[in-house]
Amino acid sequence: MTTATAPTRTLDPADANALLRAAHRISGEFGPTAASTGLLDHIRELAREFDGSLQDQLRPVDTDDGLFVLTGLTVDDAEIGSTPSSWATAKDSAAVWDVVMLLLATLMGNPLAWEGQQDGRFVHNIVPAPGHEGEQTGASSSVLLSPHTEDAFHPGRAHLLMLGCIRNHDNVATTAASVRKVELDESDVDVLARPVLPILPDDAYTDAQGFEGEPAKMPTVFRCEDGLTLRFDPAYTPLEEAPLEYRAAYRRLEAELARVSVAVSLKPGEVLVVDNDLVVHGRVPFRARYDGTDRWLKRASVRVPGRRTRPRAERHEHGYGQVALEAPAA
């Protein structure tokens, strides 16, 4: 893993101020921000009013890095209160930032939520939670969160993932690696493009664990018009069930992703935008204190209408019964 600087896009101060003012106003009008229909409709209408300067900074990811850090927004550390002890206790903590994330997501596409995760909210709180330190979920802390495609098990997964930093006193790094940066033999790509193994639902989706349908087998990489995309989650992929040739190619891809991985330590107010078809992301281990000052991110997912970066066969997958909720585009 390298310490290379991630590409950045800096908001014009006027745009940043307009976003924050709008978020404070909407938060005050709607109160709890579990993303009611009225709130989403209002955000959709408001997003149309922002000018080309902001829209340009939120244009699609356009480099092989597959990500950028949006800078220019600020967080008042005293105003947001203590870091919640879990997503379940967060409720509407730092609700203004829920609205900020929804505004940004709406300007980039359609915000996405899941019925079975964090009570169907469109913005998730990512905080360390006692008792979950060693899991491969956003609630963990003491272990490396393995690089993965967000919601890789599901055909309706996001095209873009947004991680907004609320607090990060310990400079805990998010890791990211683009498949467009790896060096793989064409023979390995051919092997990994076959639908050999399923990706199982992660532990954050408790309702999916007892799904009785046959797991769908899927390719790990896919050739699209612009280059390779991937669908990758080694922590939830039964690699031991694959033929030796496939396992070897998968391990070479894993090693290459580790080689090109970058560490992004977000500052409060910064938003990491990741192309979920190109980039796997994770997190380095850290020691949670559970004293109200731990790392705290807001996560939002976005689907981009009309995007062609995935195999058609995905449309027939059952997604382990998990239902995606997609807000209309602006």
Which sequence spans correspond to the domains of the chain?
8-326
pLDDT digits (tens, 9 = 90+) for 277-305: 999 999 999 999 999 999 999 999 999 99
pLDDT digits (tens, 9 = 90+) for 176-193: 999 999 999 999 999 999
Select from 319, 324, 322 the least CA-distant residue to 214.
319
pLDDT digits (tens, 9 = 90+) for 76-111: 999 999 999 999 888 888 889 999 999 999 999 999
pLDDT of 139: 86
Instruction: Name the pTM for this structure.
Output: 0.95
pLDDT of 35: 58
Select from 254, 304, 66 the least CA-distant residue to 147.
254
Q: For residues 1 and 260, is the Cβ–Cβ distance under 8 A?
A: no
pLDDT of 33: 55
- Give the integer Cα–Cα distance in Å for 107 and 277: 19
pLDDT of 104: 96
pLDDT of 329: 63
pLDDT of 75: 96
pLDDT digits (tens, 9 = 90+) for 177-235: 999 999 999 999 999 999 999 999 988 888 888 888 899 999 999 999 899 999 999 99
- Give the integer Cα–Cα distance in Å for 175 and 243: 29
pLDDT digits (tens, 9 = 90+) for 6-36: 899 999 999 999 999 999 998 888 765 555 6
DSSP state of 63: S
Q: What is the mean pLDDT of residues 251-256?
A: 98
Query: Domain 8-326's class?
Result: alpha beta
- Name the burial class of residue 30, with classes exposed (0-12), middle (13-18) and buried (19+) by CB atoms within 10 angstroms of its CB: middle
pLDDT of 212: 85
For residue 4, is pLDDT > 80?
Answer: no
